[in-house]
Structure 1
Amino acid sequence: MNRPILAAIVTQNLKDNLNIVKNITNQRFVWAVIKANAYGHSIKSAIDGFSQADGLALLDLQDVHALREMGWTKRILLLEGIFSAHEIPQVIEHECNLVVHQFLQLEWLEQYLSNLSSLEAENFKSKVEIWLKLNSGMNRLGFKSGEYGLAYNHLIHLGFKVHHLTHFANADEANIFPTVEDQWAIFEHTTQWMDGFKSAANSSAILNSPHVHADWVRPGIMLYGASPTGKHQDIAHLALKPGMILSSEIIAIQEITKGDTVGYGSRFVAKQNTRVGIVACGYADGYPRHAKEGTPVWVHLPSPTDHQSGVKVGLIGRVSMDMITIDLTTIPQASIGTKVELWGANNPIDDVAMFSDTVGYELMCAVTQRVPMKVL
Structure 2
Amino acid sequence: MNETASLRARAEIDLAALRANVRALRERASGAQLMAVVKSDGYGHGAVPCARAAREAGATWLGTATPHEALALRAAGLDGRIMCWLWTPGGPWREAIEADVDVSVSAMWALREVVAAAATAAGRPARVQLKADTGLGRGGCQPADWPELVAEARAAERTGTIRITGLWSHFACADEPGHPANAAQLAAFRDMVAYAEKEGVDPEVRHLANSPATLTLPEAHFDLVRTGIAMYGVSPAPELGTPAELGLRPVMTLAAAVALVKDVPAGHGVSYGHHYATPAETTLGLIPVGYADGIPRHASGRGPVLVGGTVRTAAGRVAMDQFVVDLGGDRPEPGAEAVLFGPGDRGEPSVEDWAVAADTIGYEIVTRIGSRVPRVYVNESAEPAGSAHPTGGAPQ
User: Do both proteins adopt the same fold according to a TM-score greater than 0.5, normalized to the shorter chain?
Assistant: yes
8 Å CA contact 2:243–2:249 kept in 1: the answer is no
* Structure 1 gap segments, 5+ residues each: 302-309
* Structure 2 gap segments, 5+ residues each: 158-162, 379-396
Aligned 1:87-236 pairs, distance under 5 A: 87-112=92-117, 115=119, 123-125=123-125, 128-159=126-157, 160-174=163-177, 179-193=181-195, 194=197, 195-196=202-203, 197-229=205-237, 233-236=241-244
How far apart, CA to CA, are the structure 2 residues paired with 1:236 and 1:251? 32
Q: Does 1:35 align with 2:39?
A: yes
How far apart, CA to CA, are the structure 1 residues paired with 2:91 and 2:219? 39
8 Å CA contact 1:232–1:351 kept in 2: the answer is no
8 Å CA contact 2:305–2:313 kept in 1: the answer is yes
Deviation (angstroms), 1:374 = 1.7
* Runs of 4+ with >6 A deviation: none
Q: Paired residue for 2:80, among 74, 77, 85?
A: 74
8 Å CA contact 2:36–2:51 kept in 1: the answer is no
Aligned 1:1-376 pairs, distance under 5 A: 3-51=7-55, 52-80=58-86, 82-84=87-89, 87-112=92-117, 115=119, 123-125=123-125, 128-159=126-157, 160-174=163-177, 179-193=181-195, 194=197, 195-196=202-203, 197-229=205-237, 233-299=241-307, 301=308, 310-329=309-328, 332=330, 334-346=332-344, 347-376=349-378
Alignment size in residue pairs = 357
AA of the residue aligned to 2:295: Y
Alpha carbons of structure 1 residues 365 and 86: separation in structure 2 relative to 1, 3 Å: closer
Deviation (angstroms), 1:86 = 5.9
Alpha carbons of structure 1 residues 151 and 314: separation in structure 2 relative to 1, 3 Å: same
| Aligned twin of 2:393 | none
Secondary structure of 2:258's counterpart equals: strand
Residue by residue, what CA displacement relative to the aligned partner does 1:175-212 show, whole Å, maximum 9, x if unpaired?
Answer: 656x1111111111221251322100111111221111
| Aligned twin of 1:307 | none
How far apart, CA to CA, are the structure 2 residues paired with 1:88 and 1:282? 38
Deviation (angstroms), 1:174 = 3.7
AA of the residue aligned to 2:106: H
Residue by residue, what CA displacement relative to the aligned partner does 1:42-90 show, whole Å, maximum 9, x if unpaired?
Answer: 222223321231111113333323212322111010122x434562321
How far apart, CA to CA, are the structure 1 residues paired with 2:75 and 2:117? 26
Deviates more, 1:50-59 or 1:84-93: 84-93
AA of the residue aligned to 1:124: R
Deviates more, 1:209-218 or 1:285-294: 285-294
Alpha carbons of structure 1 residues 176 and 257: separation in structure 2 relative to 1, 3 Å: farther
Identity between Structure 1 and Structure 2 (%): 28
Q: TM-score under structure 1 normalisation?
A: 0.88
How far apart, CA to CA, are the structure 2 residues paired with 1:280 and 1:86? 39
Q: CA RMSD in A?
A: 2.3
Alpha carbons of structure 1 residues 294 and 141: separation in structure 2 relative to 1, 3 Å: closer
